[in-house]
A and B are shown apart, each in its own frame.
Chain A
């Protein structure tokens, strides 16, 4: 579907407000009588709570309340399991979810011990120092292997081990494939933890209006509707008594889809008890512990290949760090398991993972959500195979691709949406050729690189391929209303954290209704406006909510035609919607403004034909049969200073396929932002926990985010293989930029340092680490 708006570079409608400071973020809220919250958080990673006494805090002037776990009474309970494990045979899963305030035991640094409510955040923080806490430290579980084999302690005693889950997915017969292989490439890979580090931290403001018995909660959540339903249940309210608003949010990237965070369930409870509005805004240091994070895994993987580099099978056994609790189920490691297969034909596959409890903050999806790890393992194994077999690294990928005529392609294992992993459409060879052309692969390998090497310069090229499963269900909904003014109101249940929904959804609806895109007012993230939906995650907003917007707009279009036809005296087929009017084709004067039609559709007196719905409004839902497969190729050029091990990225190319593109500028921005995230993952960001579970870099001084000077302008090209799974043909794009960057980086640096003997099997890297690897390869002590 393409035409006036879909596919066009429409300037974002929300930007004027955002850039002039007129957008509302949670911390902008100033309510009469507002109280402020500070949390006392554990300094220990693992300890028994032997004493906690908030009496002195309560008697400090300006403090209204200080709560510990015991003060919560019946309200204290572990959160729900948000994502149950998929129905995979033989799966083992131990449920252990987060609690509002630690009781008996703390299990990670930063776990909340007490909540203080005061007239200001300053006073609340002063009062934290009055709280007496005695913690009896226990050995911290931090090493994934030791946690299972020889644990010095158990994170959750009731399970008798630190095993959180065990899952095996198999296809074919790997052992046979291995036996028949010409070569088996085996390596151990490490991927380390990182944070999402959205520019806006989390925040919750809650207000209970006793007169109308309604609770309003402003929350930086990616899932306002589930939060509303959950809070209502927890607080003993009807769902209709709770309104959750996710206003403008400064970036989500995953951790804000984690639900029922301690602060999220406690702030509304306190507001109801104290009868005054309550605000909690997370500060940056808290964000490092209190908001979820991701990415630590250890893989022992092997690739069985034929003499001409064809993949016969892959076996991967990995450990996944799930942190102190596992409320989000197995989404991340299952993504790893599935995304490893990539765009390749893998006839035999044996993937087994063990999720491990550790005394570290909770792991839930962060942009990429486990896909990075799968891509890293597969791409690295292919690179090592290419080197051992003497095959060009682009050629080995070409030889293994699923071909464009092989869709739908069934990989025969289960994806995170509990459906079989079936790719709907794609053209991997075309993307590769385009990337090869853009980065100048042939010229670089044959002429430029040899010349640079003769000059003593170390420049390398990395080119990698990936699949991103997007657009999963269950469903989303939308309601479209033509208002008497002629304006169109669109409401949907998902929230927006910067993805451009105010524009892309407006484009979809404007196209169907023939109105100016600026006439479409979009409401997202307000449960008063729309009450059914699951949230913004897994690169599904455009696919699922966008398709719902499309479906609702189509229904309104039908109503318009149905109502206008008799009024204009022609059959509906002779009418067109254009420029905010409905008129007879080729006779614009024989028509009516949509606003006028909307008024006519809502008569104050008289009779209507029985069965008529008033107004020009419709609600529709969309739930895809399964997720679809976006894909792409990243290529980069890096230069390494052999003396200082400093790395500079010279060029970054992305060829991307997200099916039908609704707004190319939004897609390009998502890719550019994703690459920035990916570069951070690969070379700058690492949450350094020591063996006692202490985070050693809980500030941006030492947790390094790439800046505008570290991230190049991405050169982009698009391939479009529309998805047959939704009427727009679109696929998700939110995470694509971040997924293969680690693999591209590793290949590029190895290429730059070819001959040094350095092999890269870990992410992230840093100049310090590269120096270590170089020294080790040189045989230095």
Chain B
């Protein structure tokens, strides 16, 4: 398991990196390398060149935004986000999810930008970014553009990134006042690819009814899957146990079309989607009620 030969570039700045990517069509950016390098060692990937982003300090780090949101540099390591107090305060869903991503060793090298650009259907961060309605900043040597996370993921391992473009930052809006979040995942072993995962953000109106539900599942299809039917089923209702059960049923039965693989059949995935969506919504609703000062009836 040794990779095929390749050329290695190590730019010191973002400008230099973008120029290299524009000039060398067959070059791939190297972030944490936790998915790319194994694929290269298996010789299933054989890029002619790698553009190493790890020396570009400007691309890493998490900072608060004036609107109460959070800006994450694409090269910020998972482990940084895991330990960040800012993330815990402003994006509790993200903080809750981090320990589910692989193992500490992998999190010490893997980056949020790398995970999103790779767009593995079993990855946690794409689902979380869609649930949180993040905005992604994409840059090329010529231009910069911004895109909602929901539009960024276009299919199996497919994103809106054009050739020569890099994802450079992720902006998370502030959470609504009466919101609660929860993340649930089931894997065979701790750190494994999820069999099914659910990221849920539930916000209530002043009367304690569901104003918006963002329910996003992972490992049930080509990428982060928004359970629109489940969300619609909850809209305007109090998130009671019964309402939540109905939403979870929607998520499992109609919002997803899961694949089968050697670890889980499509039927088993649907069952997990049903159970995990319900569990996530119950917790999110509880947190939303607490945030609103509403007691459960």
Contacts and interface: CB of A to CB of B under 8 A. Distances in A.
Answer yes or no: do A and B interact: yes
Interface of A: 121-122, 125-126, 283-285, 643-646, 684, 688, 696-697, 701-702, 704, 706-707, 709-710, 766-768, 771-772, 775
Contacts of A767: 186, 188, 195, 264, 268
Secondary structure call for the A interface: loop
A285 B38 CA distance: 12
B5 interface: yes
A122 B2 contact: yes
Contacts of A284: 1
B2 A121 contact: yes
13 contacts: A125-B43, A126-B5, A643-B271, A643-B275, A644-B275, A696-B262, A702-B262, A707-B189, A766-B263, A767-B195, A767-B268, A771-B271, A772-B265
Given A643-B275, A704-B189, A126 B268 contact: no
B259 to A, nearest CB: 13
Interface string B2-26: 1111000000000000000000000
B272 interface: yes
Interface string B155-197: 0000000000000000000000000000000101111110100
Closest A-B pairs by Cβ, 7 of them? A122-B2, A283-B1, A643-B275, A771-B268, A709-B190, A768-B264, A768-B268
Contacts of A707: 189-191
A707 B192 CA distance: 11
Contacts of A771: 265, 267-268, 271
Given A121-B2, A644-B271, A768 B263 contact: yes
A116 to B, nearest CB: 12
B188 A766 contact: yes
| Most B CB within 10 A of own CB, among A643, A644, A704, A768 | A768
A704 B267 contact: no
Contacts of A775: 267
Contacts of A126: 4-5
B47 to A, nearest CB: 16
Contacts of B272: 644
Contact of B186 (A125, A644, A710): A644
Contacts of B2: 121-122, 125
Contacts of B275: 643-644
A360 B18 CA distance: 49
Contacts of B1: 283-285
Nearest to B188: A704
A768 B261 CA distance: 10
B273 to A, nearest CB: 11
Contacts of A697: 262
A688 B190 CA distance: 21
B35 to A, nearest CB: 11
Interface of B: 1-5, 42-43, 186, 188-193, 195, 262-265, 267-268, 271-272, 275-276
Secondary structure call for the B interface: loop
Nearest to B41: A283
A767 B265 CA distance: 11
A702 B190 contact: no
Contacts of A702: 262-263
B189 A684 contact: yes
A126 B46 CA distance: 12
B33 to A, nearest CB: 16
Given A696-B262, A710-B190, A768-B195, 16 more contacts: A122-B3, A126-B4, A126-B5, A285-B1, A643-B271, A644-B275, A684-B188, A704-B189, A706-B189, A766-B188, A766-B263, A767-B264, A767-B268, A772-B265, A772-B268, A775-B267
B69 to A, nearest CB: 35
A122 B267 CA distance: 43
A57 to B, nearest CB: 15
A245 to B, nearest CB: 26
Contacts of A766: 188, 263
A709 B191 CA distance: 10
A284 B265 CA distance: 27
Contacts of B265: 768, 771-772
B198 to A, nearest CB: 12
A767 to B, nearest CB: 7
B192 A704 contact: yes
Contact of A710 (B42, B189, B264): B189
A770 to B, nearest CB: 9
Contacts of B186: 644, 646, 767
Contacts of B189: 684, 704, 706-707, 709-710
Contacts of A772: 265, 268
Given A125-B2, A768-B268, A701 B193 contact: yes
A534 B264 CA distance: 44
Contacts of B271: 643-644, 771
A766 B265 CA distance: 12
A697 B192 CA distance: 14
Contacts of A121: 2
Contacts of B3: 122
A701 B261 CA distance: 13
A285 B186 CA distance: 27
Nearest to B276: A644
A710 B192 CA distance: 12
Contacts of A706: 189
A387 to B, nearest CB: 28
A631 B4 CA distance: 52
A284 B41 CA distance: 12
Contacts of B262: 688, 696-697, 702
A772 B189 CA distance: 20
Nearest to A690: B262
A643 B192 CA distance: 20
Contacts of A283: 1
A125 B193 CA distance: 29
B213 to A, nearest CB: 22
A689 to B, nearest CB: 11
Contacts of B193: 701
Nearest to B186: A644
Contacts of B191: 707
A762 to B, nearest CB: 16
A684 B189 CA distance: 9
Nearest to B191: A707
A605 to B, nearest CB: 61
Contacts of B4: 126
Contacts of B267: 771, 775
A700 to B, nearest CB: 10
Nearest to A120: B2
| Most A CB within 10 A of own CB, among B1, B4, B191, B192 | B1
Contacts of A285: 1, 42
A730 to B, nearest CB: 36
Nearest to B272: A644
Nearest to A643: B275
A775 B190 CA distance: 26
Nearest to A123: B2
